[in-house]
Structure 1
Amino acid sequence: MSFIKKHIEQEKLNRRNFLFASAAGLGSFAAAGMFGPGMARAAITDPTIAWSYRNRTNPYWNEIVSGGEAFVQSLGMSKDALTHLINEGSSEKALADVKALLARTNGQLALAIDTNDAPNCRPVVEAVAEAGGYVSTIWNKTDDLHPWDFGDNYVSHMTWSDEKPAEETARILLEAMGGKGGVVHLGGIASNNPAIERLQGLRNALVDYPDVELLAAEPADWDTQKANQVMSGFLTRFGDEITGVHCANDTIAYGVIEALRAEGIEDMPIVSYDGNPQAVQLVAERKILATVFTNPHWGGGITASLAYHAATGAFKPSEEPNEHREFYGPTIMVTPEDAAEFKASYLDSVPSYDWADFWGPTNGQIQYK
């Protein structure tokens, strides 16, 4: 478990070293904004390619950005050609960084971004569209915001249909608990779409398990250190009433496992999400019952590719059907029985992807309730 402790320490170090970026240089942004939403400029010959994300200490986001770098390298560039906008989970910083980069590039930007929370997606998209840049988003946006309302500039949005896979992992967990006892849920950032869907997946499964009580559900902000603190608090409050743990992602599970180990608990049923390499190894060792792989390497590369190819005029997003503008990414359930095969196929050597096959592995148009 040494990698878990290392992960927690790295997050602590990351916080100490983190300084909010200045929003200086926004003065020229107004000039770049003359295009207006939906009024795309002529094709951009050499757009700046950027990824805006939380940080690389999180294994999931490291894979996302590695995919972005692989796409940039497929263009014959060094991976260093990818511009990194690291927001550390701050929506305000994410927006300020995007505006500053639009000003520096005069809007000649192909941006891939997770806006950190759903409400922040609109101001980011509006800023990019007004400057004449191109943006593809993943995970977080509000249901009333759609790429086709911004012509070509808002290229695409990809999320993952989390509710059903989260329900499937929950059923694995509840069965392992013998269909009785108490379960706790540690979630992501409360306003994040995947955090909401993954908790709902657990609630859906619980309907069929009346002898299992949901003792508590609290956000852990996708963070190992916070998850460790939340789980420690749960153990103090509920003690041996807890017989299973539902984690919204793998990095949360690492904090949970460390909190359990501190209390001498080694056999608690746990499920998680993301399919990070360390989590897959824990699944193979049956220390986690299941995780769900969302292929972040492909997601990171294809999101950057979509923004870039739209910016250079290789295709016009406005001429594509809606299912090519808003779509679900791929998911794979990983259990102890198939963890070794999965690891060999997806983690030990990363598959080669055709970055111009924009929608090949996708799972259909996003559906709203």
Structure 2
Amino acid sequence: MVAALTALCMALPANAQSQADLITPVEDELTFVFIPKVIHPWYDVVREGGQFAVDELAKSGIKVEMIWDQPPTADVADQNRRIETNIGRQPDGLAVACLDQATNTQLLREAKEAGVNVYTFNSFCDEEFPFVGQRDSYGDGYDLGKYLAEHLGGKGKIGILAGSLTATDHVERIQGFKEALKEYPEMEIVFEQPDNDILEEAVALTENALQAHPDIAGFFGSNASNPIGAARAVKNAGKTGEVAIVGMDDLPEAVDFVCDGTITALKAQRQWDIGYWAVKYMVAMNQNHTYPMDHNTGSRLITQDDCGE
């Protein structure tokens, strides 16, 4: 036995590889392309977080160019063209907020096969790709459904502004919201329409719903635009405090509507964190560091209690 151990030790290299040798130093400037679902103020905050990470990395000698290639509208074909074009440009990192799970997933596989480091953010695409953002969109919808139902005493007609019908986060929020309302048999969904993440459409749809259902008691907005659109329409109709609104995210105008009582509650994601960590993780990919497949940045409830005097 001693002889066998001695022979094994002699066969090993004199110096085992250090784990530090597994890391690839970044010497050239890195290029990261972000492709969101649409041009939107929500993504401006993601970009701010990303820029903070870029500036932080520059202090340590790592240069990153962050490019945002943003579709003007939430159009699946347009977003996919941008993904295809950027695969051909071979960036050091490609971050995509999936607008259409099926077609986006296929293109992201092509990007990986082409040697592009892929990250997904904001809207989940597939377990195959690392993701940073709020994973529990269903839970956000459910929480807002429960909050609205309890606020209304478990009774009333409800409208839903459905955002983009192919975006997984919008779809899952609506599913969660509807599941919560199943517990309240005296609540009825009388209106449900997609606004395609366009604020003006959300305003017009809410106006139509108010006219068609004068006794409507509340609205649910599945994205960052439509709670604002609903609030503008409700306020213009003189129904602030009479018609309740719940929805997503904390854009400044939405928070103002919470504080003046037009919006009842919001669930806000942490999009600054999303941008910050997306940049950090794509650098890690280029350095051959480990990185998480699922970084859930979560969300928080905002009500009038959170407003200062």
Query: TM > 0.5 between the two?
Result: yes
The alpha carbon displacement at 1:85 in A equals 0.7
Match of 1:348 in 2: none
Instruction: Please report how far the alpha carbon of residue 96 of structure 1 lies from its aligned counterpart in structure 2 after TM superposition.
Output: 2.2
Match of 2:95 among 87, 112, 115: 112
1:92 alignment counterpart: 77
Task: Please say if residues 134 and 155 of structure 1, whose CA atoms lie closer than 8 Å, have aligned partners that are also in contact.
Answer: no
Q: Does the CA-based 8 Å contact 2:231-2:257 persist in structure 1?
A: no
Per-residue CA deviation, residues 210-242 of structure 1 (Å, 9 max, x unaligned), is 1111112222222211111211221232222x0
Which of 107, 120, 125 pairs up with 1:124? 107
- Residue of structure 2 equivalent to 1:234: 209
Q: Give the letter aligned to residue 330 of structure 1.
A: G
CA distance in 1, matches of 2:239, 2:306: 26
2:148 maps to what in 1?
173
Given residue 81 of structure 1, which amino acid in structure 2 is its aligned partner?
A: E
Q: What does residue 161 of structure 1 align with?
A: 136
Give the Cα–Cα distance (whole angstroms) in 2 for the partners of residues 184 and 307 of structure 1: 40
Aligned equivalents of 1:165 and 1:100: distance in 2?
A: 34
Correspondence for 1:72: 54
Residues 308 and 92 (structure 1), Cα distance of their counterparts in 2 relative to 1, 3 Å cut: farther
1:50 aligns with 2:33: yes
Query: For residue 127 of structure 2, what is the aligned residue in structure 1?
Result: 146
Letter in 2 for 1:46: E
Letter in 1 for 2:226: I
Structure 2 residue ranges without an equivalent (≥5): 1-23
Q: 1:249/1:156 Cα in 2 relative to 1: closer, same or farther (>3 Å)?
A: closer
Distance, in Å, in 2 between the alignment partners of 1:118 and 1:59 is 23
Query: Which position in structure 1 is the counterpart of 2:170?
Result: 195
* Residue 246 of structure 1, aligned match among 200, 220, 235: 220
The aligned residue for residue 83 of structure 1 is 67
Q: Is 1:338 equivalent to 2:284 in the alignment?
A: no
Specify the code of the residue in structure 1 equivalent to 2:41: P
Q: Which runs of 5+ in 1 are unaligned?
A: 1-41, 148-153, 318-323, 342-369
Cα distance in structure 1, aligned partners of 2:275 and 2:213:
39
Deviation at residue 271 of structure 1 after TM alignment:
0.8
1:27-67 residue CA offsets vs partner (Å, 9 max, x unmatched): xxxxxxxxxxxxxxx887533112111445x2211111111
Determine helix, strand or coil for the equivalent of 2:248: coil
Q: Deviations over 1:52-94 (max 9, x none)?
A: 11445x2211111111121111121899931111123222222
Return the alpha-carbon distance in structure 2 between the equivalents of residues 239 and 221 of structure 1.
24
The aligned residue for residue 258 of structure 1 is 232
Question: For residues 221-265 of structure 1, what are the alpha-carbon distances to aligned partners after superposition, in whole Å with 9 as ceiling and x for unaligned?
Answer: 22211111211221232222x011111133101211222234332
| Conserved 8 A contact 2:122-2:274 | no
User: Matches of 2:270 and 2:63 in 1, distance apart?
Assistant: 20
Letter in 2 for 1:245: F
Paired residue type of 1:134: N
Residue 185 in structure 1 maps to residue 160 in structure 2: yes
On the 8 A contact 1:224/1:254 being kept in 2, the answer is yes
Query: How many matched pairs?
Result: 281
Structure 1 residue 327, shift from structure 2 partner: 4.2
**Deviation of the 1:339 alpha carbon:** 3.6
User: What is the distance in 1 between the residues matched to 2:260 and 2:212?
Assistant: 29
Q: What's the counterpart of residue 329 of structure 1?
A: 297
Distance of 1:252 and 1:285 partners within structure 2? 17
Task: Give the structure 1 partner of residue 252 of structure 2.
Answer: 277
- Distance (Å, rounded) in 2 between the aligned partners of 1:83 and 1:250: 23
**Match in the other structure for 2:185:** 210
Which residue pairs with 1:62 in the alignment?
Answer: 44
Which residue identity lines up with residue 159 of structure 2 in the other structure?
Answer: V
Q: What's the CA shift for 1:155? A: 4.2
**Cα separation, partners in 2 of 1:325 and 1:178, compared to 1, 3 Å:** same
Instruction: State TM-score, norm by structure 2.
Output: 0.82
Cα 1:155/1:47, change in 2 over 3 Å: farther
Q: Which amino acid aligns with 2:86?
A: L
Structure 1, 81-90 or 259-268: larger mean CA deviation:
259-268
**d(CA) in 2 for partners of 1:79 and 1:227?**
40
Task: Work out whether 1:291 is the aligned partner of 2:266.
Answer: yes
Q: Choose the corresponding residue for 1:307, options 279, 282, 298.
A: 282
Q: Distance in 2 between matches of 1:250 and 1:98?
A: 24
**Distance of aligned partners of 1:161 and 1:339 in 2 relative to their CA distance in 1, 3 Å threshold:** farther
User: Which secondary structure does the structure 1 equivalent of 2:58 belong to?
Assistant: coil
Give the Cα–Cα distance (whole angstroms) in 1 for the partners of residues 195 and 141 of structure 2. 17
Structure 1's 271 and 190: CA in aligned 2 closer, same or farther, altered over 3 A?
Answer: same
State the AA in 2 paired with 1:146.
E
**Secondary structure of 2:29's aligned partner:** coil
What percentage of residue pairs aligned between the two structures are identical? 20
Q: Write the deviation string for residues 313-336 of structure 1: whole angstroms up to 9, x where unpaired.
A: 2x145xxxxxx3134322111111
